[in-house]
Chains A and B, each alone.
Chain A
Amino acid sequence: MNRPHRLRVSVVVVTKDRPEMLAGLLASLVGQSLEPDEVLVVDNNSTRSYLPVFEEYRPRLPLRTVVERVPGIPAARNRGIAEATGDLILFIDDDCRAEPGWVERMVRPFYLNPHIGAVGGEILSETRAGGLVEQFCVEETLMRMGRSDGGAA
Chain B
Amino acid sequence: MIIDITKCGYQRGYLPRQGIGAFHAFFPTANAAFRRQALQAVGGFDSRCATGEDIDLCIRIAQADYELWFEPTARVTHFHRYTLRGLARQWFQYGYGHAYLFRKHGAKHRVELYRYDRSETDGGPFGISRVLSIPFPIPGMIFLSSYHALHLGVIAALVAFGAGAHVVGWSALAAALLFAARYFGPRFNTGSPRRSLALAGIRYLADSAYVVGGVMGGITQRMIFLEATFRTRRGAPPRARAGRAPVEPLSIGEASDAT
| In the complex, B259 has a CB within 8 A of chain A | yes
A6–B77 Cα distance when bound, in Å, is 28
Residue of B whose beta carbon sits closest to that of A142: B7
A142–B87 Cα distance when bound, in Å, is 10
Query: Which of B35, B46, B70, B75 sits near A124, CB closer than 8 Å?
Result: B75
Known: A78-B45, A116-B66, A124-B77. 14 other contacts (CB 8 A): A89-B36, A90-B33, A96-B76, A106-B74, A108-B250, A108-B255, A117-B66, A117-B68, A120-B27, A120-B32, A122-B6, A126-B77, A136-B203, A137-B87
| In the complex, A146 has a CB within 8 A of chain B | yes
Q: A-B pairs with the 10 shortest C-beta distances? A: A117-B66, A120-B27, A117-B38, A121-B74, A105-B74, A141-B237, A74-B45, A108-B255, A74-B47, A93-B30
Residue of A whose beta carbon sits closest to that of B29: A91
B8–A151 touching, CB < 8 Å: no
Which residues on A sit within 8 Å (CB–CB) of B46? 74
Given A89-B39, A102-B74, A105-B74: A110 touches B33 (CB 8 Å cut-off): yes
Q: How large is the interface on A (under 10, 10 to 19, 20 to 34, 35 or more residues)?
A: 35 or more
Taking Cβ atoms with an 8 Å cutoff, the residues of B that contact A are: 5-8, 26-39, 41, 44-49, 53, 57-58, 61-62, 64-84, 87, 195, 198-199, 202-203, 206, 230, 235, 237-238, 248, 250, 254-256, 258-259
A151–B83 touching, CB < 8 Å: no
B80–A119 touching, CB < 8 Å: no
B250–A109 touching, CB < 8 Å: yes
A117–B46 Cα distance when bound, in Å, is 17
Which residues on A sit within 8 Å (CB–CB) of B44? 77-78, 81
A132–B71 touching, CB < 8 Å: no
Contact with B along A117-141 (1 / 0, CB 8 A): 1111111111000011111110111
Given A108-B250, A141-B8: A77 touches B45 (CB 8 Å cut-off): yes
| In the complex, A56 has a CB within 8 A of chain B | no
Given A77-B53, A141-B8, A142-B7: A119 touches B32 (CB 8 Å cut-off): yes
B71–A119 touching, CB < 8 Å: yes
* Cross-chain pairs A/B with CB under 8 angstroms, 20 sampled: A1-B254, A70-B47, A74-B48, A88-B34, A91-B31, A93-B29, A93-B30, A99-B74, A102-B76, A105-B73, A106-B33, A113-B69, A116-B68, A117-B38, A120-B31, A121-B32, A131-B82, A133-B87, A133-B202, A140-B203
Which residues on B sit within 8 Å (CB–CB) of A23? none
Which residues on B sit within 8 Å (CB–CB) of A63? none
A115–B38 Cα distance when bound, in Å, is 9
> Which A7-35 residues sit within 8 Å CB-CB of chain B?
21, 24, 34
Query: Which of A117, A133, A143, A146 sits near B34, CB closer than 8 Å?
Result: A117
Which residues on B sit within 8 Å (CB–CB) of A102? 74-76
A86–B254 Cα distance when bound, in Å, is 22
Which residues on A sit within 8 Å (CB–CB) of B71? 105-106, 108-109, 119-122
Which residues on B sit within 8 Å (CB–CB) of A126? 77-79
Which residues on A sit within 8 Å (CB–CB) of B73? 101, 105, 121-122
Residue of A whose beta carbon sits closest to that of B254: A1
Query: Which of B38, B68, B237, B255 sits near A120, CB closer than 8 Å?
Result: B68
Given A77-B45, A146-B75: A120 touches B35 (CB 8 Å cut-off): no
Which residues on B sit within 8 Å (CB–CB) of A21? 79
